[in-house]
Structure 1
Amino acid sequence: MGTMESTKLAPLDKAELERQSLFRYELRRFLRFGEEASRAAGVTAVQYHLMLHTQGFPGREWASIGELAERLQTQPHGVVALVSRCEEAGLVRRKDNPLDGRLVEVHLTAKGRRCVDKVAAQHRAQMGALAAVIEAASASSG
């Protein structure tokens, strides 16, 4: 994770603070919506995120433990435990990479795919609303 630079920044005006407040509010609403949609689908939000991120790399249907740790912004050993819980629930399965025996691939099962599809579809409208807030905040601060 990056660190904050100690360079002196210009103070923000009230309008900029309002835009940042609105952005944080809408982001939190989006995250809460995701938590509730995940729970309604029978998984935790972090389980949903792990499953979603297995599908986040172009040209393949899996992700490595290291990639998942980066996407989830957590430590690899925590991801290993999460993968184990998801595997026990029948949501994902591990496979050894045929080209690199050190690499473990995490794949969705059919059950995991159905869950991701359901929750991701529910996020479509929410993502559009969040994108509009981001666009408005970016245009105003430019």
Structure 2
Amino acid sequence: MKFETVHSDHLLSTLAEFRFELRRFLQFSEGASLEAGLQPQQHQLLLQIAGAPQATAVTIAYAASRLGLKHNSTVELVDRSEREDLIERTADKDDRRRAILRLTRKGRQVLHKLSGDHARELNDMAPRLVRALQRVQAHSRTSLAAEVL
């Protein structure tokens, strides 16, 4: 068997394992969100609003960018989350055309519980995630070194 084939098979195996570990965490996250009464994208929206840097205006455009969603999909998500009293919109003082998104008390409570659950799960999963990421990193270094030669 050629070196390249073995090398390629090892890369595929390494990437598959890393992807598996990430997916396990995402499955946990999705299930925890649903158990808390949120759709997984609502949880991600709340997290992005709460986790935005201090000086950042959290707008629909900001949320869309952070969530990887189109503007209109983000508007629907914000509308649903606002109806469920998870977030509130206020007019931007500097640009009245923009709305600033903030968590409500209910949104903050739900997010706080989910964040604790996620931190505990990540603590349990961390060794496997780190090992998988280290294998990807080692493979990348080996590939780069081979390209130089």
**Bin for the TM-score computed over the shorter chain:** 0.7 to 0.9
What amino acid does structure 1 have at the position aligned with 2:63? L
1:134 maps to amino acid: L
Q: CA–CA distance in 2 between the matches of 1:136 and 1:99?
A: 48
TM-score normalized by the length of structure 1 = 0.84
In the alignment, which residue of structure 1 is the partner of 2:138? 139
Structure 1 stretches (4+) deviating beyond 6 angstroms?
none
Q: State the one-letter code of the partner of 1:135.
A: Q
Higher helix share: 2
| Superimposed CA distance per residue, residues 113-142 of structure 1 (whole angstroms, 9 cap, x where no aligned partner) | 011111111112443526413234223422
In structure 2, the CA distance between the partners of 1:88 and 1:58, relative to structure 1 (3 Å rule), is same
How big is the shift at 1:56?
Answer: 2.5
Which residue of the partner structure matches residue 97 of structure 1? 92
Larger radius of gyration: 2
Given that 2:22 and 2:129 are in contact with CA atoms closer than 8 Å, whether structure 1 keeps it comes out as no
Gaps of 5+ in 1: 1-9
Residue pairs, 1:59-98, within 5 angstroms: 59-60=54-55, 63-98=58-93
Size of the aligned set, in residue pairs, is: 133
Q: Would you say 1:116 and 2:115 are equivalent positions?
A: no
TM-score of the aligned structures, taking structure 2 as reference length: 0.80
- State the alpha-carbon separation in 1 of the partners of residues 116 and 56 from structure 2: 18
% identical equivalent positions: 32
Q: Unaligned stretches of 5+ in structure 2? A: 142-149
Q: Which residue of 1 aligns with 2:146?
A: none
The alignment partner of 1:59 has SS state of coil
**1:51 is matched with which residue?**
46
CA RMSD between the two structures: 2.0
Cα distance in structure 1, aligned partners of 2:63 and 2:97: 16
Matches of residues 7-46 of structure 1 in structure 2 within 5 Å?
13-46=8-41
